[in-house]
Structures are given as C-alpha cells and as structure tokens.
C-alpha cells in the first residue's frame, strides 16, 4: 500500500482507488484460506503501534462491502489506543468495553457506517485495565453472537509487543493478519512478535508489508516471511 494512495480519508476510497485491487486480492487470499466461509474472525495486529493495523483493517472491510453484498463488521479491539471511531467519524461511546462490562446490549453497540453493509463496534469506555476487561468468556460470547450475521468479523487489534491484550484476543479469533511497516520495526522485534503469536497457538494467516513508498507483495507464509524478508532502504 503506498502512502499517497492511502493518505486520504476513508470516505474517498472506492473501487477506482489505487489500493482497491490490493485489498481485493488480500480478501481473495484470505478466502482461499477459508476466511469469509467457515472462518469468520480475523484479528489485524502488528508488533508495535503505528504500523498500519487500523488502516489495513478499515480498508479491508470497506473493500469487502464495496465488492459484495455481504455484511462486514469492524471491532475496535485496541482498547488502549482506539482509532476506528475517529476514522469513521463516530463517537467512541457505546462499544466493546460497554458490552464486556454489561452496560449495553449488543444491538446498542453495533453502529452503522456510511458504507453499505459495514458495521462498526467502537472501543467504548472503561475504567478497568483492558487486559482484565477482555475476559475470555465474555469476549468469546460476543464473537459467537455475531458470527452468524457477518461474512467477516475484523478486529483492529492491539500491538503484540508492548502489552498482552493481543494475546487475549488471539484466543478468540480464527486467525491473525500481521501488518509490518517497512523499514520501521527492527527485525528482531518482528521475529519476537511472530514467536509470541506462534506460542499462542493462533494461526498467523498472513503478513502485510505496509510500505510508504511502493506497493509490495504480501507474504502469506510465516516460513517464507521469516527467511525472505528483505529490509527496504528508502523509508
């Protein structure tokens, strides 16, 4: 994904946008791995913050709704630094945290967006520590409730390295898509993040290389990614 192409507001994104075909291909590759069919829940994460998790999750979901009549939902699982509501111009209130705290019902936190068939569950508000909030059973129950209604449930996850929230969520998703910002995160940190995920047992289904200057290919196998990752020099 290149910078010029993605720097615009999400509301300017459409079928003619330069990155549309990249995201469309990504969806197709995910479909080949059964996402959107039997597997429904994908968490987008990265080793550290600022690598493009929110960006990739948002455009992936929007591309899905623009290219089909299926329903998609985005969940802001990055409770410490929630961003999705800002991207979509919505209020943060009434979201994931409110459900987990039993303050709201599911129907009250599923927000419509300006994109047809794209729903959004914002982060909501809380006072507890996010890790405590993401109690396994409650989070699982929420996911299981909405599983039937959507083609794909995309969780904009927390980063892996600084906190353990991502691992909590990893226990309730069907797979993980990792975003790596080219030239930003040291290779050792990326490797550590992949090791942490591997230990969690949640399948890593793909890696998106988010490059500021050019569109780079997506690498789908952890093995391939690990041994063939070449750093870019132009960032």
- Residues in contact with Mg ion by CB under 5 A are 53-54, 83
Does 83 contact ligand ADP by CB under 6 A?
Answer: yes
Taking CA 213 as the corner, what is the angle to CA 73 and CA 222, rounded to the nearest 5 degrees?
A: 60
Cross-strand bridge partners of residue 221:
none
At 119, list the tokens.
């729903």
**49 lines the binding site for ligand ADP (CB under 6 A):** yes
Cβ 58 to ligand ADP shortest distance, Å: 8
CB distance 109 to 98 below 8 Å: yes
Q: Is 122 in the site for ligand ADP (CB under 6 A)?
A: no
Chain-centroid distance, C-alpha 172: 14
Distance CA 78, CA 54 (A): 9
51 binds ligand ADP (CB under 6 A): yes
Minimum CB separation of residue 14 from ligand ADP in Å reads 17
Of 45-53, 98-106, 126-134, 169-177, the segment contacting ligand ADP by CB under 6 A is 45-53
Residue 226, C-beta contacts closer than 8 angstroms, at least 6 positions apart: 191, 194
Interaction of residue 163 with ligand ADP, rule CB under 6 A:
no
Q: Is 101 or 163 the residue whose CB approaches ligand ADP more closely?
A: 163
- Name the residue nearer to Mg ion (CB basis): 66 or 123: 123
Question: Which two structure tokens, joined as six digits, stand for 7?
Answer: 């720097």
C-alpha to C-alpha distances, 231 to 158, 161, 182, nearest whole angstrom: 24, 20, 7
CA 93 from chain centre, in angstroms, equals 20
Task: Identify what 1 binds: Mg ion, ligand ADP, none; CB under 5 to 8 Å per kind.
Answer: ligand ADP
Distance CA(137)–CA(84), nearest Å, equals: 24
138 binds ligand ADP (CB under 6 A): no
Residue nearer to ligand ADP on the CB measure, 81 or 129: 81
Residues of this chain that interact with ligand ADP (CB under 6 A) are 1, 3, 6-7, 46, 49-55, 83, 210, 212
């Amino acid at each position: 994904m290149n910078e010029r192409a993605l720097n615009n507001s999400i509301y300017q994104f459409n079928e003619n946008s330069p990155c549309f075909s990249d995201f469309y291909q990504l969806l197709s590759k995910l479909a080949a791995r059964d996402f959107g069919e039997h597997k429904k829940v994908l968490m987008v994460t990265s080793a550290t913050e600022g690598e493009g998790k929110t960006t990739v999750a948002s455009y992936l979901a929007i591309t899905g709704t623009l290219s089909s009549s299926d329903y998609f939902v985005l969940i802001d699982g990055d409770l410490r630094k929630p961003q999705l509501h800002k991207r979509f111009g919505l209020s943060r209130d009434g979201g994931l945290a409110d459900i987990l705290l039993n303050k709201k019902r599911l129907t009250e936190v599923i927000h419509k967006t300006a994109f047809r068939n794209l729903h959004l569950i914002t982060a909501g508000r809380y006072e507890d520590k996010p890790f405590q909030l993401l109690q396994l059973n409650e989070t699982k129950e929420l996911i299981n409730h909405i599983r039937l209604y959507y083609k794909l449930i995309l969780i904009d996850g927390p980063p892996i390295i600084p906190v353990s929230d991502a691992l909590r969520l990893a226990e309730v998703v069907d797979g993980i898509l990792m975003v790596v910002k080219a030239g930003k995160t040291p290779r050792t940190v990326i490797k550590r993040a992949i090791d942490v995920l591997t230990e969690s047992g949640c399948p890593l289904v793909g890696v998106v290389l988010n490059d500021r200057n050019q569109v780079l290919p997506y690498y789908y196998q952890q093995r391939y990614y690990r041994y063939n990752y070449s750093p870019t020099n132009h960032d």
